[in-house]
Amino acid sequence: MSVYEALRDALRGKDPVALATVVEGPNVGAKLLVRPDAPAVGSLGNHDLDRVVARDALGELEAGLTSTRHYGTLGEARELDVSVFIESFALPPRLIIFGAVDFTAALAKVAKVLGYRVTVCDARAVFATVQRFPMADEVVNDWPDRYLAKVGDELGPRDAILFDGAGHLMLWTWWRLRDRLRAAGVLIVTAHRAHRGPVVVRTATSPELLRELVAELDPTVGDAQIRDACHEARCDLRAALRSLYESAWINRPAPDPTH
């Protein structure tokens, strides 16, 4: 099977796949198709280069990123002999919103613009209807724990969960849900207070999603710094962003007094 046939079949089957193409250096135009849990198709002209690029392509695919990476002719890091364009054809990330309340519709619209596949889930069938949430890809009438038991294994670091109205949960129910909620890369939990809108009581993220977010704000921040910030913040999104911001502010060069 050729690279293009394998790519066609993957796209038709909606399977995640990454295509690596040499754009500079030896064997310009050579291609390598990489899929999770499947042998690679094609070659970039060298076995060692194929092995290293396949590893990096799977990492980019998991994060949903497309980028150009540089290698030595044998796949060495920090070399510029070969430039490889890695294009990710990843499934859209999922956003699962528990709670069919009024602001859920506005959030679902924004999430669709950002490229998420949106699911609205609420056990109250009178509230969770397709008529109220036509922008959602899926509207489910079920309890959160039962729905997560069905789809929890499908969630990954690019997916997000919003749990609205956590203040109404019994403590034992929250503890039962907590482990299943950890499967997603981002977790936002809100509670409602009298005469106020939803209040964020917890956020969580993964190094992969934090890297994707920070890349839009400051592409000079390195992967190691992002991993450290995520670890120190125990994956709390706000704390990790605050740590990176303070680090960038502290380490930024002092203004030149002559200008």
Dig out the tokens for 81 from the structure: 């002999």
pLDDT band at 249 (very low <50, low <70, confident <90, very high): very low
Average pLDDT on 71-84 reads 92
Residue 56 has pLDDT above 90, yes or no: yes
CB of 138 within 8 A of CB of 118?
Answer: yes
CA 24 to chain centre: 29
CB of 233 within 8 A of CB of 239?
Answer: yes
Q: What is the pLDDT of residue 197?
A: 45
Q: Give the Cβ contact number of residue 198 at 10 Å.
A: 20
- Distances in whole angstroms, Cα of residue 175 to Cα of each of 138, 161, 167: 26, 16, 13
